[in-house]
A = this chain, B = another copy of it.
């Protein structure tokens, strides 16, 4: 079938005006005026619809078409008529319309204003609504712009593993991956335990019989693997799914989400922040450029300040403040009468309310908070000369809070090994990681961007369940 997409019409109307074309798509609405009627058709190629004008005189099957329900699939042949004086710049005068697939009368999304909660039960159909057509196209454009940003700068894309046998971070929050029969988990025998010299205990799970010969989990981050590749390619990035088995039922947490993790060699924390800021601005500009109709709809119905905020962020410098300065700002605010639920003092982990105060009320723009106390940050972050703080930088954005967590990595073998020992971690687990510091170590840095948080920021959507095609949260793995 030789067909023209609606996006092509809007992109180059002059090429199609007066021409005979075939358009295939789904019915958004049908208005029957007895001897003529209008079908609003969308084919998914762009946010906008095409108005199809049909007349009883021309169409043998006029009544059949006039009786179609929302979401029926039609193939419309006709002439594109330019209508510069009308609201739509053109319409299709139908010569023939055939029904490709009817939409049964019980189509669940008949009503114009279904709640997002109801639509979460209709995840296979919700991409057909305006809200989700906007959200998921923006998600796609944002993902593509992340790839183009890094590729254009010579970064190598690395697919770090999803299944991991290392328990590096927060093992308690990791999903187990297994091919063992859960109904009948194999156990270590008395004999095997005796022969293992104390390493195995009789009755515990016999992981040697699992697929990988040891316990395996779903990754929480590709960073440590990405560092392997940064020490060869200089600049690399990952972009893939990560997982948390966290039992938290909030608007901002999902069990499965995508992360972007660049890692750059011969670079310090400032290079890292510059990269993060450039990347965010690039993505915002690409989305504003490629999705104006989607943003206009979201700005009208979801978040009235959306376009203004994105424009502002794309054109202004991000604020940069040390953790120590940030705590002073928060303490000043408290002294002036501002109340926080969680008390503020040097050494605390900043809570969302603190982060939002800093970025929304104090700086009124995206803000990097740097140089956090060593106690509240990960072992791999580079110790500052003060011995109390590490070269970390979190990026906070208005409306969301933390969207990026980054750091310069500890490149000094002795300092890294000391940190691993201090924290009681198993040095054997980090042998490979430390090898990177033995053989041509260099200053390097990186960050992690929670992709869904970025999409929430770009769309104004408040619940992470509404920016993921089929979200996985506590108790939910439908579709």
Min CB–CB distance A114 → chain B (angstroms):
14
A95 within 8 A of partner (CB): no
Q: Do the beta carbons of A234 and B437 come within 8 Å of each other?
A: no
Q: Interface readout for A37-63 with B: 1 if CB under 8 Å, 0 if not?
A: 000000111100000000000000000
User: Is A183 close to B, CB under 8 A?
Assistant: yes
Q: How far is the CB of A274 from chain B (nearest CB, A)?
A: 12
- The digit string for A468-479, where 1 denotes a CB below 8 A from any CB of B, is 111010111111
Give chain B nearest CB distance to A245 CB in angstroms.
4
Please give, as numbers and ranges, the residues of chain B lying within 8 Å of A221 by CB-CB distance.
Answer: none
Q: Most B CB atoms within 10 A — which of A213, A233, A243, A439? A: A439
Shortest Cβ distance from A265 into chain B, in angstroms?
Answer: 7
**CB proximity of A461 to chain B, nearest CB, Å:** 15
B442 near A100: Cβ-Cβ < 8 Å: yes
Q: Does A197 contact B (CB under 8 A)?
A: no
Q: Is A158 an interface residue (CB 8 A)?
A: yes
Cα(A124)–Cα(B434), bound, Å: 10
Smallest CB–CB gap between A5 and chain B, Å?
A: 7
Q: Does A175 have its Cβ within 8 Å of any Cβ on chain B?
A: yes
Given A140-B155, A225-B470, 9 more pairs with CB closer than 8 A: A5-B154, A26-B232, A45-B233, A100-B266, A124-B432, A140-B157, A162-B243, A213-B476, A241-B241
By a beta-carbon cutoff of 8 Å, the part of chain A in contact with chain B is: 1, 3, 5, 7, 24-27, 43-46, 71-73, 75, 100-104, 107, 123-125, 127-128, 132-133, 136-137, 139-140, 143-144, 147-148, 151, 154-166, 175-180, 182-183, 185, 204-205, 211-214, 216, 218, 225, 228-229, 231-235, 240-241, 243, 245, 247, 255-256, 258, 265-268, 411, 432-433, 435-443, 468-470, 472, 474-479
